[in-house]
Amino acid sequence: MELGFIGLGRMGGNMVRRLSKAGHQCHVHSANQTTREALAKEVGTVSYADIGSLVAALAAPRVVWLMVPAGEVTEQVLTELGQLCTSGDVIIDGGNSHFKESVARAQVLAAKGIHMVDCGTSGGVFGLARGYSLMLGGANEAIGRIVPILDTLAPGIDAAARTPARDGGPQAPGEAGWLHCGKPGSGHYVKMIHNGIEYGMMQAMAEGFALFASAGHAVVEEDYRYDLDLAAIAEVWRRGSVVSSWLLDLGADALASNPTLDQYSTEVADSGEGRWTIEAAIDQRTSAQVLAAALFARFSSREKNELGNRFLSALRNKFGGHPSLSSKG
């Protein structure tokens, strides 16, 4: 199938590689000339220096997939595509845009007869080999047009054992590794919650292994002090444990390479999806305590919050006489 592809970063480039390997004809654009030309040479894509040339080269009705940073860049590219594309074309935003922005953009493009599909894309740098989990929002007509692309990018039904309740039955929605979640915005909404859950899972693992690391500290009574092999614990949990997962696999690999993990920063970044998930929880009046705590833990990792912690120490000292003065005091 012929399609345009804009954005050739860590995920976008590998998505084009997976599509090209399966026989899809990809017309690509990236702001980085070296990147787009190298990919064209590697997998035989047709490279364009500007979006206008790419769109002009595609036969109508067109399909154009975006994998560009959320926010201003996505807005700029979609605005340009809205001026270049024509009625019946399908534009897919495969980045992590806010679902409310996706709804608004779909409405603007729909007025011109252009379909916009919002696609939450999960798989990271491993997607080339494993495939990508795709969560889509948009009109049935638009989704129907791009099924060959989705079937190529997604892992497929054999990527996981079938759920016992579905065994022997027809293929259910989602089992192919992609899902039409509903109307415009729903794909990015589902991906947003996916990333919020990811925050919680990662934080729980991090706290658990931090407890293992501190089990041998002097503050622990000697009878209950343990010198634990964190890498070995990760390995045993990978086999038959209820917490076994791909995230644990990645953690086990990191610990096996360096048990102290001291090559990594203690400051943990957050992306917009974690914050948006908590905003949605507030709007929907739905509790999301673990997800909120995981987000705030990332904030805490980046802020020493010296004044706040000193204020707490001062209060403890003032009301209870607790020893809270610093060594400099």
- Among residues 80, 198, 235, 279, the one annotated as catalytic is 198
9 vs 77: CA distance, rounded Å? 15
Specify the pairing of strand 133-137 against strand 115-122. Answer: antiparallel
118 in Cβ contact with 188 (< 8 Å) = yes
Retrieve residue 114's tokens: 């252009």
β-pairing verdict for 25-29 and 2-6: parallel
Catalytic residue among 101, 175, 191, 273: 191
Residues forming beta bridges with residue 133, ordered by sequence position: 122
Per DSSP, the residues of 89-158 read -EEEE-S---HHHHHHHHHHHHTTT-EEEEEEEE-GGGHHHH--EEEEES-HHHHHHTHHHHHHHS--GG
Q: Is position 72 annotated as part of the catalytic site? A: no
Residue 257 has which token pair?
A: 């390479």
Can 191 be counted among the known catalytic residues?
yes
Which residues are identified as catalytic? 191, 198
